[in-house]
Amino acid sequence: YGGALKAAILIQQWFRRYMARLEIRRRYTWSIFQSIEYAGEQDQLQVSSIVLLFFTVLSLPDLISHVLDPNNDFMNEEAKLAKYEKIEVPDSYAGPRLSFPLTVVHTNALLSGFKQQQTLHPRYVLQLLHETKKFLKHMPNIIHLSTTYTRQITVCGDLHGKLDDLLLIFYKNGLPSDENPYLFNGDFVDRGKKSMEIIIILFAFLLVYPNNMHLNRGNHEDYIMNLRYGFTKEVMQKYKTHGREILQLLQDVFSFLPIATIIDNKVLIVHGGISDFTDLDVLASIERHKFKSALRLPKLNTDDSPDKGKKRVQFFSQCIGVGGLNKIQTTFQSNGFLPSSNNCSSFHTKQCKPCYSKEKDVMTTGDEHHPPSQTLFNPSAILEVPFLDSGINFVAEEPIREELEWKQIVDLLWSDPKNQNGCIPNSFRGGGCYFGPDVTLRLLKKYNLQLLIRSHECKQDGYELCHDGKVITIFSASNYYEEGSNRGAYIKLGPDLVPRFFQYQVSKYTRRLTIQQSVTAAEGSALKSLREKLYAHKTDLIAAFKDCDKNNTGRISTSDWASAVESVLHLDLPWRTLRSRLVKLGPDGNVDYLSCFEDLQIERSIKEVTPCLMETLYRYRTDLEIIFNIIDKDHSGLISIEEFRQTWKLFSSHLHIPIDDEAIDDLARSIDYNKDGSIDFNEFLEAFRVVHKLDSKEN
């Protein structure tokens, strides 16, 4: 018997160690996904805003006027509707057919149609969006709901185009109806491949059950985000002829989505979070539809003022701030777009005190809350760029109030909670704040609330509580990073306002994966992404490694390796724990630092491009893609050689890559595969896809 007891303990002890190691792998897999995701977001917002400004100032309205002034099209609403009604739906079309007003017959048809992989005909899409916009226009910014008439409200978080998750929720929890109200807390689109289907379903239910179906706006209900995170692409692929019109209409629809919901005057629900600046009264009064994107763009205006010769562009960006402004100035000067010594002072930032502050600890300018290095996020930094003789008309002043209103909204849609007290700018995301438990308490107390429900962050279990239970994060896209990475969840809230959580996970396997299988799958994917990151910074990394390897042995200590990697990548990951998965060890226990690049190669090389440039292109692939997409007004996938050259010039000066005009021309010509003066930029970007050699060996 003693033997059996000992045997049992041995097995249990060994198994628990095994599970612990799985848990560590799961954790760092998670850290990898999150840090890469946030690093990408931060990069993207920074680069895009600089780029857009550059284009606005230099390339003049033509290039991106359609972005600056999206509603060039002056048809009124009735005329548009009539136009949609004229779109013919062929008899051969087998998908769902809609007629208005919508009924439950239509929502059922949509659900079953989408389950069978059908696509809704563009005419119905346009009509649906039109009706949705009409409906949303009458909604207030903050919706007030009550649980007294219904038993429970179901609150769902981010879906990000994962239709399977939505269908699973409906399966487990029932379809929306007057007896079964739902609130979806933003981020319906981007990343997943069925964003269109999700919003069609959500909007349809919105029209059928206007009192019991509610939607909050998320930070991805934003056309600039959509350019980067896949929704624009999805729409253009599914709707080649009408895609652009659908996207235009969606911009409006998104901007009319309510930004917050309050249940029973006690529970506040917003997509991102709050800041110590959040003022629900101001929020209730804003004209929310003016804010189409978190990324503010300058407005173009015909201005008849007498002082035409000396106009100024005002450009607000929470992401640029003082550091960014200086960068732009240098870029412009080095390109000859601005004289280096200015009679008219080229840039100055005007810092304004918010004039509404009620409490002392509301953000002021540049001091207690924002030490100089952090004025990057000063909401009131205004860039003014005077032009002496441009002959271009730009708008004059924008009221400060609008800037503050914009910040109210961005804080609501972009902020994240943190565990320490205080409120600091959210440097990871480049927008919104990190808010601590004190900020939550203060806000809840101020408005006599008891709970804040938000989404915006992926959580392994689908939900997470923080701030002593006063803040709940709810996230409804399971397997967000990778198959097996996390569960999704939803909350049911009854009149007692005690949240009940329900979790689920979509699986493409019929048998439930063991923890070990799902961890291994997710880990594989995370490590792949991480290796690509390493590869993208190869030159800088090798330089850092060689610094520690004076004798050129090809090996350095683990310690040195970890410090070097962190100093180049800035990802704050447990490099020692990850080491064995990323590099080979020599017999003396030291790291063979070149081994982490062995497995990867860039698929097709363009001979005009040096390896270093190749690497840079690979790193900024996504940003280039965004810019190309912005320039490509008709979303054809093609841009002209001239446009390509301009983009290239901007990029190379922004990134300080020395490349002369001739080299650019060579590059452009070599990419113009069919010699017709236009470049298929998707093909161009494909050239920078990194291949993992092990994968291709397996294939």
Is 334 a binding residue for another protein by CB under 8 A? The answer is no
441 vs 638 by CB, closer to another protein: 441
Among 575, 644, 684, 688, binds another protein (CB under 8 A): 575
Is 16 a binding residue for another protein by CB under 8 A? The answer is yes
Among 14, 171, 356, 509, binds another protein (CB under 8 A): 14
- Strand, coil or helix: what is 62? helix
The least CB distance from residue 483 to another protein, in Å, is 17
Report how far apart the first and last C-alpha atoms of the chain are (Å, whole number): 52
The least CB distance from residue 10 to another protein, in Å, is 4
Amino acid letter, residue 575: W
**What is the rounded distance in angstroms from the CA atom of residue 448 to the CA atom of residue 33?**
37
The least CB distance from residue 6 to another protein, in Å, is 8
Is 469 a binding residue for another protein by CB under 8 A? The answer is no
| Closest by CA position to 443, among listed 275, 577, 302 | 275
Number of residues forming the site for another protein (CB under 8 A): 39
Pair type for strands 153-156 and 433-435: unpaired
Among 80, 289, 492, 581, binds another protein (CB under 8 A): 581
Among 23, 85, 178, 642, binds another protein (CB under 8 A): 23
Among 346, 516, 529, 539, binds another protein (CB under 8 A): 516
Buried b (16+ CB within 10 A) or exposed e, 273-286: bbbbbbbbeebeeb
Is 10 a binding residue for another protein by CB under 8 A? The answer is yes
**What is the rounded distance in angstroms from the CA atom of residue 67 to the CA atom of residue 56?**
10
CA geometry: angle 80, 85, 86, nearest 5 deg: 100
15 vs 149 by CB, closer to another protein: 15
Is 15 a binding residue for another protein by CB under 8 A? The answer is yes
Choose, from 106, 220, 242, 370, the residue flagged as catalytic.
220
- The DSSP string of 346-413 is ---EE----S---STTS--SSSSSS-GGGGGG-TT-EEEEEESS----------HHHHHHHHHHHHHH
Tokens of 405: 């209103």
* Pair 372, 366: CB distance under 8 Å: yes
Is 396 a binding residue for another protein by CB under 8 A? The answer is no
**What is the rounded distance in angstroms from the CA atom of residue 121 to the CA atom of residue 82?**
16
Is 674 a binding residue for another protein by CB under 8 A? The answer is no
- Strand, coil or helix: what is 692? strand
237 vs 421 by CB, closer to another protein: 421
The least CB distance from residue 41 to another protein, in Å, is 20
* 220 is known as an active-site residue: yes
Buried b (16+ CB within 10 A) or exposed e, 563-593: ebbeebbebebebeebbeebbeeeeeebbbb
Is 580 a binding residue for another protein by CB under 8 A? The answer is yes
Among 12, 71, 112, 340, binds another protein (CB under 8 A): 12
Residues 399-438: x where in contact with another protein by CB under 8 A, - otherwise, as a string: --------------------xx------------------
* Pair 351, 359: CB distance under 8 Å: no
Amino acid letter, residue 538: K
Tokens of 127: 């009509």
The least CB distance from residue 519 to another protein, in Å, is 10
DSSP state of 116: T
CA geometry: angle 481, 482, 484, nearest 5 deg: 115
Q: Please list every residue from 160 through 179 that binds another protein, using CB under 8 A.
A: none
Among 19, 94, 388, 612, binds another protein (CB under 8 A): 19
The least CB distance from residue 24 to another protein, in Å, is 4
67 vs 458 by CB, closer to another protein: 458
The least CB distance from residue 524 to another protein, in Å, is 12
Among 83, 137, 353, 576, binds another protein (CB under 8 A): 576
Is 512 a binding residue for another protein by CB under 8 A? The answer is yes
Question: In this structure, what are the phi and psi dihedrals at residue 600, rounded to the nearest 5 degrees?
Answer: -115, 150
- Three-state secondary structure readout of 503-555: EECCCCCCCCCCHHHHHHHHHHHHHHHHHHHHHHCHHHHHHHHHHHCCCCCCE
**What is the rounded distance in angstroms from the CA atom of residue 421 to the CA atom of residue 415?**
14
Residues 529-558: x where in contact with another protein by CB under 8 A, - otherwise, as a string: -----------------------------x
Q: Strand 153-156's sheet: what is its strand order?
A: 213-215, 182-184, 153-156, 488-493, 499-504
The least CB distance from residue 558 to another protein, in Å, is 7
Q: Please list every residue from 29 through 48 that binds another protein, using CB under 8 A.
A: 31
The least CB distance from residue 423 to another protein, in Å, is 16
Is 570 a binding residue for another protein by CB under 8 A? The answer is no
Is 465 a binding residue for another protein by CB under 8 A? The answer is no
Is 17 a binding residue for another protein by CB under 8 A? The answer is yes
Tokens of 536: 């993208």
| Closest by CA position to 217, among listed 271, 291, 293 | 271
Is 9 a binding residue for another protein by CB under 8 A? The answer is yes
Is 559 a binding residue for another protein by CB under 8 A? The answer is yes
306 vs 589 by CB, closer to another protein: 589
Q: Which residues bind another protein (CB under 8 A)?
A: 3-21, 23-24, 27-28, 31, 419-420, 512, 514-516, 558-559, 562, 574-577, 580-581
Residues forming the active site: 220
